[in-house]
Amino acid sequence: TQRTLYYIYVHCSCFSHQYYFVNINLNWTDAQAYCRENYTDLATIDNMKEMKRLTESVGSDYTGEAWIGLMKGTSWRWQWSSGEGDTGYTNWYTGATYNQNNGHYCTAMRDDGRWNNIDCSYHSMTGYFICYTDGINATWNFTFINQHMNWSDAQTLNYCRTYDSDLVSVHNEEIQYWVSRRAEKASTDHVWLGLRFSCYLNFWFWVSAENVCYQNWAPNNISNSNLCGTTGAVQSKDPHYWVSLPETKELNFICSKYPSKHSNEVRK
């Protein structure tokens, strides 16, 4: 049995960012790696409302600067570490030199909520930082299982439900990306998802009882006819489309469930 555990953090696009203040001293690059391992990424802020929520996550008793996910690299353009959205909203403090195009800059938030650009080459500079996820109580861990099982055995009889989890639900492009990376390790052409077709209701649903708010079906794969007895799987190789397959096929699979809370972070 080969059982590999990965921590992946998921959301449905209808939810806003949730912020986590991490009181561990790291440089920007290490802080980015920590957030990507344990959350989604270093903090992305899209508007004033999110800026207020992020400030509240830090708390009034903290003084100093904390890393966020804004950076300027060789493109001389400010961008979020997560690759999400644009930088239409900014909150620079008046002394920041963010318009310079002569270096690789990272961003820290001051205790007054304003942003300051800092040369990323100062690797010895460490500080606390702020991570984010999307969604409300939407943090899960994924477990890739390199065993061959039919869909029902994987979900209920022999594995996922035995460990208080479900076959994985994929809610957006971000989770599709992570599922695709795990699927590439599979020994089967496809990997089971927690997706099943209801013959009675004539639609697809996640076994986790969450809405299907994102889809990535292979072209010409899906019509709502002749789908009874089929379940959803993701291709293990690029382009990692979803396909409908008979639930009797034996494939590798991915389970997901809520992880334990981290002891060093404060969530707001």
The CATH number for 196's domain is 3.10.100.10
Residues 108 and 200 placed together within one structural domain of the fold: no
Q: Give the whole-angstrom CA distance, residue 259 versus residue 268.
A: 18
List of residues 6+ apart from 129 with CB closer than 8 A: 21, 22, 24, 26, 28, 31, 34, 35, 42, 43, 66, 67, 68
Q: Is residue 263 part of a domain?
A: no
- pLDDT the model gives residue 136: 37
Phi–psi pair at 29, nearest 5 degrees: -65, -45
Residues 28 and 106 placed together within one structural domain of the fold: yes
**Sequence letter at residue 104:** H
Question: Among 134, 153, 172, which residue terminates a domain?
Answer: 134
Residues 210 and 151 placed together within one structural domain of the fold: yes
- pLDDT the model gives residue 268: 45
Question: Among 134, 153, 174, which residue terminates a domain?
Answer: 134
- pLDDT the model gives residue 4: 42
Q: Give the whole-angstrom CA distance, residue 88 versus residue 104.
A: 20
Q: How many residues does the chain have?
A: 268
Residues 123 and 159 placed together within one structural domain of the fold: no
Residues 63 and 172 placed together within one structural domain of the fold: no
Model pTM above 0.85? no
For the chain, the distance separating the N- and C-terminal CA atoms, rounded to the nearest angstrom, is: 39
Residues 144 and 242 placed together within one structural domain of the fold: yes
Residues 91 and 192 placed together within one structural domain of the fold: no
Q: Give the whole-angstrom CA distance, residue 203 versus residue 244.
A: 12
Residues 122 and 180 placed together within one structural domain of the fold: no
Residues 41 and 121 placed together within one structural domain of the fold: yes
Residues 47 and 117 placed together within one structural domain of the fold: yes
For residue 247, what are its two tokens? 């639930």
Residues of the chain with pLDDT under 50: 1-15, 136-139, 258-268
Question: Among 94, 110, 134, which residue terminates a domain?
Answer: 134
Residues 36 and 75 placed together within one structural domain of the fold: yes
Task: Identify the domain containing residue 123 by its residue range.
Answer: 17-134
- pLDDT the model gives residue 162: 80
- pLDDT the model gives residue 20: 87
Residues 191 and 120 placed together within one structural domain of the fold: no
Q: Give the whole-angstrom CA distance, residue 227 versus residue 200.
A: 11
